[in-house]
Each structure stands twice: as C-alpha cells, then as structure tokens.
Amino acid sequence: MTTEMHGNGELWENLLRLSEEMEDKARDAFRRIDGIAERNQWKVIEAFKKHQVSDFHFAGSTGYGYNDRGREILDLVYADVFGAEAALVRPHFASGTHTISCALFGVLRPGDELLYVTGKPYDTLHKVIGKPGDGKGSLRDWGVVYNEVPLLEDGGIDWQGIEASIGERTKVIGVQRSRGYDWRASFTVAEIGEIVKRVKAIKSDVIVFVDNCYGEFTELLEPTEVGVDLMAGSLIKNPGGGLAETGGYIAGTRDAVEAASYRLTAPGIGGEVGAMLGTLRSMYQGLFLAPHLVGQAVKGSVFAAALFERLGFESKPKWHEPRTDLIQAVRFGQADHLIAFVQGIQAAAAVDAHVVPEPWDMPGYENPVIMAAGTFIQGGSLELSADAPIREPYIAYMQGGLTYAHAKYGVLTALRRLVESGLIVIKPYIP
C-alpha cells in the first residue's frame, strides 16, 4: 500500500490490524456464505444445462423481436432458477420500481385492494401507489385501493392486524423483503413463506407479491419456492451479476406473469415481442456469475457490521446474524458522520472516486438523499455503493461489492475518512 494512496500510513496500518481481527471473528460466517453461494451456483448451472443454453442464444434480435429464442430460453432459465412457473426477463424494464409497477398494474383492477403487510414500502413506490385523484396515473388514480399493516415495534409481522385488514376486495398482498430505509430486519424466505401460508388461509385466492430487490441468491431458496405468486427485481442488482446493463425480471405463476407482460407491452402482445438487441450475452453471463458475486457482497456486509459494531455503532443485521439481502445498515446518529461515511465509500470506487457526493433532492424520494455510486453500471447496487436519506437517526445503507476485496477496501476507506475528519477516534495498535 503506498503512502500516496492512503495518506496517513500509521492510521492505515491500524485499520488493517483492526480488519484482521474482524475477519478472524467472522470466519465461520464467511464459510456459511460461501456454502450458500456454491449451492446457488450449481442451481444456475443446472438450469442452463436443462435448457441447453448455446452461443446462438446470445444473438440479439431487432424490430419486433419475434421468435427470439435467446429471450425465450432466458425466461425459462430464470423460472427454473427461482422455482417459478414462468418468468419475464427484459432490458425494457427501466428500474426495479418500473418492474414492480408493471407487476402490480398487471394483476390489479379498479376496485381491488393492494394491502402491504410489511409496513410502508420503499420510498420510490409511494408515487406508484399515489394519492386519490392525483392525476398522475398511479394505482390510486386508476381506482385501486391501498392499505398497509404497520409492523410491530420490534419489526415483526402484526398477524392480528393482517387478519383484521384482509377483506373481500383484497386482491394483492404486498411484501417488501428488504428493509428499505427502515431500521428493521429484512424478511427471510422462511418468514415470507409463513406470510403466504397465513394470508391464504384467510383468503385463498389472494395474490402474494414480493419485492425481491437485493435478496436474490442470499439464501438457498427464493420467495417463489415457498408459495409466492409474483415477485420482481432489478437486473442491476443481484441477478444481473454486475454485467447486465439494465433491465428487470418478474417471476411467479404463469397467469400472473402473463398479466404483468401485458402491462409491459400491450394486451394480447405481452412477452411475445421486444427486441433484445445486444443484451442477451450480458444477461446470461451475469446470471451465471450472480451467486458468487452476491456471496462476495454479503461477506463485505458482514465485515462492515463487525467493524462498526467493534467501534460502538449499531448495525442491522448484526455481523453474526443470518442474511437475507445485501443491505447493511449502520446507525450513526449524526448527519456529519453519515455523510462522511457515504463520501468515504465513494472515494474507494474504481469509477468516479474523485467525485464527492452531497445530499440532494432526488426524484422519487421524500427527503434529501446522499448516494455513493462509483459504479460501472449506473445505479448498479450489486457493485459497492451506499445511500441514505438525510433524516434522523441518520442511518447509512451500504450494499454490494463485486469482490470482497473491494467491499473491504471501501469500508476501511470510509472509516479512515471518519477518523481523518475528527469524527471518531481509533486507538493506536499496540503489539
């Protein structure tokens, strides 16, 4: 390590000593993560083999994209990997929010109720849900009723509240797997399976929808393998493997996925069209790499939790707790600590490390947001990134890292920035 790269050489040596201590502590957790990545890797390979993926499947179509065999096989591969009846994988989805929107608009009709049972969903979905008569084309503007069941104080599911809230008009039960910008645990696949079991016991024909963003390949099973009818995610997060340049996926029952496909294109057309241009190779190869890269990112989150817990900060999940998504939350309690941390993550990027992020009013968010996103794919959060709304209690949300080495470097660089800014003190290492 050069002095030019790290400035205070003595400080950097102290940080490296501290990181060695954390890695020794997390050795068993790392081993468990590697085991999950290995099994998921095998699952993906088996799906590729089953559908006889060949190099001609990587050729892109043009125009309408009729009879694009690469697109059709990619859908089948995704369906098998996620244990679903069908899947829709397209570069035409502009973001995770767009993908979720297509899924919800596909299965909801005027007069239906969307009931979120995991509290208020992620900020960018608020405008999709909308307010009555907002005139922007939101779900509520189209006559869809929205309600939510807040989580209990400990972040758990309010089962009594759910039972009391499900009514005749309840068509879709919404579940957000990740914590979003909340200080709570993300929901495991087992917990999602319990939600499915309980809500269908109350109303058997209800559709259970899961926002699966950040969760893919962090566990051995996916939500559609425990009874979820419909789920959606972004290809510039976990399943794109750092290579997919854009896009999203929807997976679930055949009827639900078909309904979502009509929203993406048009009724009667659905997933039968859509030129893939030059995107197929990166989507296939990204999916192939995704289990390993997700494992690398999860290990980076464990390292971050262990390190900042060692320094007296609160984290969720704690370093030793099971993981069900990429996101590592660290509560700083002060805005200047939070901003310095996010700026430190940006300073460790391979792309745009010279840029210093500042809070700004980002479209779709209700508070000023600061984002560290020095990524090869714009907004690619399987790559090392961090973001946070500037609001109390000033929690940073870190995710990603295509390699564990990069995630570790980013966390140490962020910590160094906090120390050099005089915000925290690291005791010198004494052999």
pLDDT digit string, tens, across residues 323-376? 999 999 999 999 999 999 999 999 999 999 999 999 998 776 778 999 999 999
**What is the spatial distance between Cα 309 and Cα 75, in angstroms, rounded to a whole number?**
42
Last residue of a domain, one of 236, 253, 275: 275
Least confident of 41-45, 130-134, 154-158, 163-167: 130-134
pLDDT digit string, tens, across residues 392-430? 999 999 999 999 999 999 999 999 999 999 999 987 655
Together in a domain, 265 and 146: yes
**What is the spatial distance between Cα 24 and Cα 26, in angstroms, rounded to a whole number?**
6
Together in a domain, 78 and 9: no
Residue 49 lies in a domain: no
Integer CA distances (angstroms), 378 to 340, 351, 366, in order: 22, 10, 22
Residue 26 has pLDDT above 50, yes or no: yes
Query: What is the total count of domains within the chain?
Result: 2
Tokens found for residue 182? 């909340």
Residue 282 has pLDDT above 90, yes or no: yes
Average pLDDT over residues 299-328: 97
- At residue 180, the pLDDT reads 85
- At residue 363, the pLDDT reads 73
Residue 56 lies in a domain: no
pLDDT digit string, tens, across residues 252-262? 999 999 999 99
67, 272 Cβ separation under 8 angstroms: no
Q: In percent, how much of the chain has pLDDT > 70? A: 97
Last residue of a domain, one of 209, 244, 275: 275
Residue 120 lies in a domain: yes
Together in a domain, 316 and 340: yes
- Domain with 83 in it: what CATH number? 3.40.640.10
Residue 391 lies in a domain: yes
Together in a domain, 258 and 233: yes
* Number of Cβ atoms within 10 Å of the Cβ of 193: 18
Together in a domain, 154 and 244: yes
Together in a domain, 95 and 244: yes
Residue 284 has pLDDT above 90, yes or no: yes
**What is the spatial distance between Cα 95 and Cα 380, in angstroms, rounded to a whole number?**
10
Helical segments of 142-253, H only: 159-165, 189-202
Assign 171 a pLDDT band (cuts: 50, 70, 90): very high
Together in a domain, 22 and 146: no
Of residues 10 and 316, more confidently modeled? 316
What range does the domain containing 31 cover?
3-41+288-420
Residue 281 lies in a domain: no
Residue 311 lies in a domain: yes
**What is the spatial distance between Cα 100 and Cα 95, in angstroms, rounded to a whole number?**
9
Together in a domain, 13 and 117: no
- At residue 1, the pLDDT reads 42
Which element (helix H / strand E) includes 335? helix 335-347
- At residue 428, the pLDDT reads 66
374, 351 Cβ separation under 8 angstroms: yes
- At residue 7, the pLDDT reads 58
- Domain with 321 in it: what CATH number? 3.90.1150.60
**What is the spatial distance between Cα 183 and Cα 154, in angstroms, rounded to a whole number?**
10
Residue 46 lies in a domain: no
**What is the spatial distance between Cα 37 and Cα 219, in angstroms, rounded to a whole number?**
8
Together in a domain, 348 and 218: no
**What is the spatial distance between Cα 68 and Cα 75, in angstroms, rounded to a whole number?**
11
Last residue of a domain, one of 246, 275, 304: 275
Residues sharing a CB contact under 8 Å with residue 262, sequence separation 6 or more, in sequence order: 106, 268, 269, 270
Together in a domain, 94 and 32: no
230: phi then psi, degrees, rounded to nearest 5: -155, 135
pLDDT digit string, tens, across residues 38-91? 999 999 999 999 999 999 999 989 999 999 999 999 999 999 999 999 999 999
Together in a domain, 68 and 36: no
- At residue 351, the pLDDT reads 96
**What is the spatial distance between Cα 316 and Cα 308, in angstroms, rounded to a whole number?**
11
Residue 29 lies in a domain: yes
* Number of Cβ atoms within 10 Å of the Cβ of 295: 24
Together in a domain, 169 and 100: yes
Residue 219 has pLDDT above 60, yes or no: yes
Q: List the strands of the sheet with 170-176, edge to edge.
A: 86-90, 248-252, 230-234, 207-211, 170-176, 113-116, 145-148
- Global pTM reads 0.95
Assign 3 a pLDDT band (cuts: 50, 70, 90): very low
